[in-house]
Structure 1
């Protein structure tokens, strides 16, 4: 088995750029929403990305797409992936991109909790439990620390925040499903293909069902689709899998807080979103909690 190495300058630079792109996702979805609904964007980007991954599937070694051993778990992760992005698309309609990205990236918290009960090697340390507690308190602050006047706009935003949190939980469920099924031994391209294909098959008809299938093919709509399909769902995910294969995951986890941070900054800068004091405080608590959970191995080495 190949020995994974500590983070070097190249890997750190790549992770920094990836976090910028990932933080920009929800903002771009929101910008293009008047021309193409977030749900339709999610569906089309999944389909386009699946077509891009397909040739890599054919070239990979050890790929068994249609055997029951991998197909049934593949169907599960495809459905979970589709459910996650349905929740995410709906969240974008009701709340800000800043809120969405912070609550979506609570996923590592729920992954850690799920794997704690299933895998002895994933037992949580005291530091990680502290991080989980801090993150959950941050979630409570972001939800409950709003203005006392519960206007219709505030109520709508709370609903969108709830959907974004549900998307984070479903993302965690997808990750856990991959870890606990034969897909853990499958090539990354195979697992990614199941998710992308499932996302397209489920989300495309849902876009018509919910009346969100009308597309105005403006430069913004086309640019958003190309950004998400090529740069995010295809290139960035493959680069991420390459990093996980070659570098220590605990070191990569140190960057967990950067994506929501960039998401908030882009939301304020490009969309002019206003941030409540309670959300800022809660977001800081959530990001610190995620770092404590994801990077506890790195923390232990630094202390040692």
Structure 2
């Protein structure tokens, strides 16, 4: 999941009509399919190789889009060290996501990854002036973290230690995604969101290939139509289409109103894991997902009708 820096991209603040609401929910649905797609692709490819090909595909698609829309990717030299560091964090974020998803379920993966708005709220409280936690956000965080604990305790029939390792890695990926989003908010004060994501991929994608060659060259690759489709989904749909579309929507509508829909992503993800992977939705998982979704909504929803 690659998010645009929401708070700094909303320009027009038009009212969200039914069509905009439905399309925003559709994007959350597509993001919800990320972890099931990763889990499916892991049946035929190792985790770092999946990341490498996913973002190479996404990078090519974004470069084509920027060329068609005449979006300049040239940057002053002083920004490149910052974007290199950004790319390294990005490599760690996706690496922990893919490796963690290997050891846990698709449902757990999408729930823990979807906690990133909570980490954004905590980090923003510490780093961004005038973006402090208040009682409502604090309550939402407590509810969501209670849900995280419930999901941690949900083991199903999978060995506990293996799922616990995967859960911890994906939760760490959610934290890193929160760091990336807060860092992005500072970067886009000087450069546009497309420059941020494209250079992030330019610096990060080769590292995935290098790490995969070092650590995964002995692992077997079995490409099937399902595995190829899952990797294409991650690259074309999530890394490219969702980013471009979300960014364009943020130019029309209130960022805070749109991010309030993020609570649906773990719900869609659990349902898609059931549909695609055949995973069971046990009572503990259902309760944990509900708490996480409620907490994300409370943290993300607008405080007032005029708030950006």
Aligned residue in 1 for 2:25: 16
Distance 1:176 1:2 in 2: 19
Aligned residue in 2 for 1:173: 179
CA contact (8 A) 1:63 1:186 kept: no
Distance 1:226 1:289 in 2: 32
Shift of residue 194 of structure 1? 2.0
Determine which structure has the larger helix proportion and give its number. 1
Q: Does 1:64 align with 2:69?
A: no
User: Which of 194, 203, 211 is residue 206 of structure 1 equivalent to?
Assistant: 211
User: Which of 257, 271, 293 is residue 299 of structure 2 equivalent to?
Assistant: 293
Shift of residue 125 of structure 1? 2.4
Shift of residue 160 of structure 1? 0.5
Distance change (3 Å), C-alpha of 1:159 and 1:2? closer
Distance 2:119 2:162 in 1: 25
User: Which of 279, 282, 294 is residue 288 of structure 2 equivalent to?
Assistant: 282
Shift of residue 54 of structure 1? 2.1
RMSD between aligned residues: 2.2
Distance 2:232 2:12 in 1: 35
Q: Which TM-score applies when normalising by structure 1? A: 0.89
CA contact (8 A) 1:90 1:160 kept: yes
CA contact (8 A) 1:146 1:276 kept: no
Distance change (3 Å), C-alpha of 1:278 and 1:62? same
Distance 1:68 1:62 in 2: 15
Distance 2:220 2:262 in 1: 35
Unaligned 5+ segments in structure 2 are 1-9
Number of aligned residue pairs: give it.
295
Residues 261-284 of structure 1 show CA distances to partners (whole Å, capped at 9, x for unaligned) of 111001112212123433322221
Higher mean alpha-carbon deviation, 69-78 vs 130-139, is at: 69-78
Aligned residue in 1 for 2:260: 254
Q: Which TM-score applies when normalising by structure 2? A: 0.88
Distance 1:55 1:173 in 2: 28
Unaligned 5+ segments in structure 1 are none
